[in-house]
Amino acid sequence: MTRLFCAFLASFFLTALSTAQALADVFPDQPYFGMQLDYQIEGIALTGFEDRETPRTVTRILEGVLTAGKVSIKGMGYSVEDKAEIMVTISAGTGMKKDSWTIKPKPGHKEYAIEIEVPPNARGSHISVLINPEAQGKNLVKALRLDITAVPKR
């Protein structure tokens, strides 16, 4: 019942916010193995989402429509591991940018930001954000992923 209510609320807020220029959220609601993403997306009006969980990865998939000539994402990544990396890839049309940031235990979080111009003839845009902690010899691979895909307005 609680999961169904949360899905209803998320759907309601995505619909209400889809007309806004920026969307901000925290994913997941509770830290996953001590990892969490705080993010703000601009240039995309969201039309849908899905959260997926496997034994070692939690993924939020967002879909939307391009609303501006520039797409950006910024926020904060959190991790309780000794060292973790935030990797961000953003693309629009044939253009693509990548960057990464290291999260260290003190303070346990790191800001990230990236943007890209959207060419007039672009068939869409994609953003991928991944937090991947170092395994430190443990045979445990875990990750937190955010994927956003947007298409042009029709």
The predicted structure's pLDDT at residue 7: 41
**0.85 exceeded by the pTM?**
no
Domain ranges in the chain?
Answer: 2-151
Which structure tokens are listed for 94? 């044939």
pLDDT band (50, 70, 90) for residue 17: very low
Q: Could you write out the DSSP letters of every residue in 27-62?
A: EEEEEETTEEEEEEEESEEEEEEEEEE-SSEEEEEE
Per this entry, what is the length of the chain? 154
Q: Are 129 and 27 in contact (CB under 8 A)?
A: no
For residue range 94-142, list pLDDT tens digits in order.
Answer: 999 999 999 988 889 999 999 999 999 999 999 999 998 876 655 456 8
d(CA 24, CA 93): 24
**Fold assignment, 2-151:** Immunoglobulin-like (2.60.40)
For residue range 23-59, list pLDDT tens digits in order.
Answer: 899 999 999 888 999 999 999 999 999 999 988 899 9
